[in-house]
Structure 1
């Protein structure tokens, strides 16, 4: 069994019977049937690229639909209003020429559009906005009509069979160097000549903490991969979704990071993005990783209770109000936990040139 990393932007790692110099342009000569685990941006781009190179691809995603950290959340307020939030990655930018070609292709299909609003930072000590960008070095792009539009389109391309609501329980390399995948429910998911995984949780002790079962991939059989996985950073985050009846006129920018806050790291006005409803003003706040780690240390990695999420929502909103910008009470407020995130200002994977905002 040989383990190799595909030399393509946005892809974390690949398991296949292949030469270490393999890349996506030659993989079709080696593996004709590949499983992609994870329907976020990495998995979706990978599945699409492999399919375009003539490879039969089956994508497995544990959630009900694609998107991962580029998901869009649908909520209903008490008075029956539909509210949509990009509660993961607020936007993305790109500078690498290969990735920019992808972005321009998505743009031509109406899947993405530039978000032209100014962003900056806010110092919680001086109570002032700083570093407001009049013209960012790289364009900020958003999915249309939601951040998940890109993943939806890629997962439905010709040559990609997508299976949602399917969690991987076991990943095993057989004697014929094929990979056997088994669902968390024990279902046989098939044999594949290559597997691409977009979440290090497939071989992390965190999988056991959440499910009570051993990780799908036994790292004792793949020491080389174990070393690679150690270098992939994972940080937790809580997101707070807010909806206001009136615009927050006291805030001069539509997205900003927080300086000198132990609780908040980022906020953005989701309803200011192109293709979004402006019936209400919707904001999304992200906590700091340290704040999220503190909550998780108290409550564990299991799905957080409604009481925990309510407590988190109040603490994040109180910090938002405390910055002194006369922020009213929203008519909708709900928190969500991300166990691992690649934003803000974090490369999606080593060597990637697509940054999730």
Structure 2
């Protein structure tokens, strides 16, 4: 498995308190190659654009926009806007809070924070159904992440997932993984970890659901708006999400270097099928499947399956069995549609194809898979990165804007956390270094991207596969 040397990126320790005692001066702003008078941010509602802005159009606007350059000192009590409430954005807010810097997190989530830390709870006849429908579990490799996870364990936010996990090959052949390294899950579902992270912060504000549609520099500050509605002004901004929405937001923002790097990111598409069955799924030779989670091999339509009931509600001995099935990246690409408007015919075809894939993976005869009494299909159109610049964060000191996210280091929760920490400390150091040369704080603006390898559902440092097990390990599993 592809391994990232994350530990080579050292985070700078906290320096001076963020609130300087220098007098506040009115901020000014200038632009490279442009000295035109600036207009105040528009409050008129923009015309609705049709879905599918061409890549050529986006690239043209991205490459031609002028670079914003802020020249005045930060305000006495600077505030950072964080666009995206996934794990990277939340961790960035937490570590800004540790440095005494205020932030506002803008997130589009209707059900909660977390992004790909997604959990769905469905009340079905007073018998709740629960599904982790994006991130399934995580492993720990970096000491900084281990320190956070240990704190989460002490608070009861996460626990070790001791259920059997392994590889399931087409036809029903299952090989369990070794119990080491430990695998971790959120105690009550991944989303509830995200919702709990900010409980002890003092300087973090949450705006949800809020879809930031425009960034405008004016009078030394960033002005944010949602469809013409002002959402505040900020000293610096963090983009903690990606995909086509981030690209559209950045293509006319005045941040061409950041926009170009974001445009180089390539993302997979993954279908998530949530399915509840009245009884345990059958498995050849046993009454039910011998695992709680499995990476599926040799099936075009399915890459992962997990029993959420066993995983999250281990004490529940009866009741429905809630399963999450994730497609392969190839199947997602083959059936890619706008995730905001999935055609009924596509949804039907994908659902049938994935259930047939589950049936084949389990080694069941055609048509013998029990019919689920509840299903929900979701497309993650920007699921996981397939390439990376291999830097912990990106920061443009002239435009006072940065990017954090798992894709900068890998494709897992640990990478997202380390990225959020790195950007928070970098921004804090920049704010707390008045008079420093901005060029010294530029990060990741010109890094080349390299292919990113891993499972279709992400990277899990230390997690072995049968191909990497020696004979002694296989013997231990078979004992």
Q: 1:349 to 1:28 in 2, by over 3 A?
A: farther
Spell out the pairing of 1:35-184 with structure 2 (5 A cutoff). 35-64=81-110, 65-77=112-124, 79=125, 81-124=127-170, 127-130=172-175, 132-136=176-180, 138-156=181-199, 157-176=201-220, 178-183=221-226
More displaced 10-residue stretch of structure 1: 320-329 or 160-169: 320-329
Alignment partners' CA distance in 2, 1:343 and 1:269: 25
Q: Which residue of 2 aligns with 1:18?
A: none
Task: Please identify, of 286-295 and 224-233, the stretch whose mean Cα deviation from structure 2 is larger.
Answer: 224-233
Aligned to 1:12: none
Report the counterpart of residue 315 of structure 1 in structure 2. 353
CA distance 1:315–1:249, change in 2 (3 Å):
closer
Shift of 1:33: 0.5
Task: Report the CA distance between 1:234 and its aligned residue.
Answer: 1.6
CA distance in 2, matches of 1:199, 1:51: 20
Secondary structure of the corresponding residue to residue 107 of structure 1: helix
* Secondary structure, aligned partner of 1:171: strand
Give the counterpart of 2:262 among 226, 229, 239: 229
CA distance in 1, matches of 2:276, 2:324: 9
1:336 lines up with 2:381 in the alignment:
no
Asked which structure has the greater CA Rg, the reply is 2
Answer yes or no: is the 8 Å Cα contact 2:86–2:113 preserved in 1.
yes
Indicate conservation of the 8 Å contact 1:155/1:161, yes or no: no
Closer, same or farther in 2 for the Cα pair 1:153/1:122, shift >3 Å? same
Indicate which of 268, 284, 289 corresponds to 2:329: 289
TM-score with structure 2 length normalisation?
0.61
Match of 2:406 in 1: 348
Conservation of the 8 A alpha-carbon contact between 2:267 and 2:383: yes
Stretch of structure 1 that moved more, 280-289 or 79-88: 79-88
Residue 50 to residue 220, structure 1, CA distance change in 2 (3 Å): closer
Q: In 2, Cα distance between the equivalents of 1:265 and 1:343?
A: 16
Q: Decide whether aligned partners of structure 1 residues 22 and 258 sit closer, same or farther in structure 2, where only a CA change above 3 A counts.
A: closer
CA contact (8 A) 1:112 1:144 kept: yes
Aligned positions, number: 321
| Contact 1:236 1:338 (8 Å CA) reproduced | yes
Task: Provide the aligned C-alpha RMSD in A.
Answer: 3.0
Higher relative strand content? 1
Change in CA separation of 1:249 and 1:322 when aligned onto 2, cut-off 3 Å: closer
Closer, same or farther: CA 271–192 of 1 in aligned 2, 3 Å: same
Are the aligned partners of 2:339 and 2:379 in contact in 1 as well (CA < 8 Å)? no
In 2, Cα distance between equivalents of 1:190 and 1:70: 27
Post-superposition offset of 1:219: 5.8
What do residues 130-165 of structure 1 show as CA deviations (whole Å, max 9, x unaligned)?
3x21323x2211112111122101244322111111
For the Cα contact (< 8 Å) 1:36–1:197, is it kept in 2? yes
Counterparts of 1:238 and 1:27 in 2: how far apart (Å)?
46
Q: Per-residue displacement from partner, 1:245-279 (whole Å, max 9, x unpaired)?
A: 22235222211112122211111111122456733
CA separation of 1:172 and 1:180: change in aligned 2, threshold 3 A: same
Cα separation, 2, equivalents of 1:28 and 1:196:
21
Structure 1, gaps ≥5 residues long: 1-7, 10-20, 209-213
Q: Report the TM-score, using the length of structure 1 for normalisation.
A: 0.80
Q: Give, in whole Å, the separation in 1 of the partners of 2:16 and 2:219.
A: 21
Shift of 1:174: 3.0
Q: Distance in 2 between matches of 1:327 and 1:302?
A: 30
Structure 2 Cα separation of the partners of residues 315 and 175 of structure 1? 55
Report the Cα offset of residue 225 of structure 1: 1.4
Cα deviations across residues 22-41 of structure 1 (Å, max 9, x unaligned)? 96835964682111111111
Partner of 2:437: none
Aligned pairs (5 A) from 1:254-273 = 254-273=292-311
Q: 1:253 aligns with which of 282, 287, 291?
A: 291
Gaps of 5+ in 2: 1-5, 19-73, 284-288, 389-404, 416-457, 461-479
Q: Distance in 1 between matches of 2:81 and 2:187?
A: 28
